Amino acid sequence: MIANNRYENMSYVKCGDSGLYLPKLCLGIWNNFGKAYPYENSREMILTAFNLGINHIDAANNYGPPPGSAEEVLGEVLKRDLKGYRDELVITTKAGYEMWDGPYGNWGSRKSLMTSLDQSLKRMQLDYVDIFYHHRRDENTPLEETMGALADMVRQGKALYVGVSNYNAEDTRKASRMLKDLGVKLLIHQPRYNMFCRIPEQGLFDVLKQEGIGSVAFCPLEQGLLTTKYIAGIPKGSRADNQNCPFLNGEDITAEVLDKVIQLNELAKERGQSLPQMALAWDVREGGVTSVLLGASRKEQIIENVKMLENQKFTADELARIDEILG
């Protein structure tokens, strides 16, 4: 059942200087949406998000496991439950990390990106995506080739907009200028950004503002570190318990880090929020990102985290206190 009041409580923001509005929270299907997970749980999360006004769903070619299966699951939900709502949805995907064997299943060549988009469209049972991202910079491929491929995707009608992810500030500026010369807008950048990871503040945000590019942050909760999950220790089976997790493992969770998390949690309580709600609100504060990618393993997490919209403002004292806690 699709809720008739789904747009009443969500906030929507212009993406850069484009005409596209994005919800402040979008649903990322990086984890917990592949065929290794129960289909009904994935379906429930996607429909719960849509009913709460989260009409932006973010995928990538290699999300799973197995790779590609998150897009397939999304495609089934779109076909069975949301077919009549396609024009209300912003569906995004990416390519640039390893997807299939051989020299073309990775990086940023025209061959790799054009082929990958075609495969993604088949898996999601779509004619086009709203945004296609190059997932990471490929130093072995001329930037002109990568941007030329993105521009042609727009011209062919397979993507309405294009973006980049994990690009540094200077390459983002170059990519934006190249696309502009080709008559295509670089709509959006997807960086890793949260209270602990502030790399985009070191030049990238300046470029995005100058070029009129929007942004959506991944890992806004630092793989669960900006929750209360690890305060009492590392739970068995959590991401920090997995030594292969590229963004967080047990060695990162020191006594010093936990002390900071505890102090942040106390501030969140003073604000009448959970720590995840405060962390999400901090990401989209003035001077932050356009939108944040919300990951989830069950629908209740989505419902709870959307409540961050009830308190998105920070006082100058609160922002200073956060910076003081984090050093």
For 122-139, the pLDDT digits (tens) are 999 999 999 999 999 999
Taking CA 294 as the corner, what is the angle to CA 293 and CA 300, rounded to the nearest 5 degrees? 170
DSSP, collapsed to helix, strand or coil, labels residue 18 as: coil
- Chain position carrying tokens 């929507």: 12
Q: Tell me the pLDDT tens digit for each residue of 232-258.
A: 665 565 555 455 555 555 677 888 999
User: In this structure, is residue 126 part of a structural domain?
Assistant: yes
User: In this structure, is residue 108 part of a structural domain?
Assistant: yes
With a pLDDT cut of 70, the percent of the chain lying above it is: 94
By the 10 Å C-beta count (0-12 exposed, 13-18 middle, 19+ buried), 184 is classed as: buried
Q: What is the pLDDT of residue 249?
A: 56
Q: What is the pLDDT of residue 124?
A: 98
Q: State yes or no: cis peptide before 246, omega within 30 of 0.
A: no
Are 230 and 196 contacting, i.e. CB atoms less than 8 angstroms apart?
no
* CA–CA distances in Å: residue 275 to residues 57, 141, 282: 23, 41, 10
What mean pLDDT do residues 25-53 have?
Answer: 97
User: In this structure, is residue 185 part of a structural domain?
Assistant: yes
Q: What is the pLDDT of residue 253?
A: 81
User: In this structure, is residue 174 part of a structural domain?
Assistant: yes
Are 195 and 217 contacting, i.e. CB atoms less than 8 angstroms apart?
no
User: In this structure, is residue 136 part of a structural domain?
Assistant: yes
Q: What is the pLDDT of residue 136?
A: 98
User: In this structure, is residue 115 part of a structural domain?
Assistant: yes
User: In this structure, is residue 281 part of a structural domain?
Assistant: no
What mean pLDDT do residues 47-70 have?
Answer: 98
> Strands, DSSP E only, in 98-185?
129-134, 159-165
Q: What is the pLDDT of residue 243?
A: 54
Distance CA 107, CA 139 (A): 9
- Which CATH number does the domain housing residue 23 bear? 3.20.20.100
183-187, 232-236, 263-267, 323-327: least confidently modelled range: 232-236
Mean per-residue pLDDT of the chain: 94
* CA–CA distances in Å: residue 133 to residues 102, 104, 208, 257: 21, 17, 15, 33
Q: What is the pLDDT of residue 248?
A: 57
Q: What is the pLDDT of residue 231?
A: 82
Task: Examine the pLDDT at 326 and tell me if it is beyond 70.
Answer: yes
User: In this structure, is residue 325 part of a structural domain?
Assistant: no
The neighbour count for residue 21, using CB atoms within 10 Å, is 16
Q: Tell me the pLDDT tens digit for each residue of 167-219.
A: 999 999 999 999 999 999 999 999 999 999 999 999 999 999 999 999 999 99
Q: What is the pLDDT of residue 47?
A: 98
What mean pLDDT do residues 25-51 have?
Answer: 97
- Chain position carrying tokens 């209740």: 300
Domain count for the chain, please give it.
Answer: 1
Q: What is the pLDDT of residue 291?
A: 98
Q: Which domain holds residue 185?
A: 12-223+289-313
Q: What is the pLDDT of residue 121?
A: 98
Q: What is the pLDDT of residue 230?
A: 85
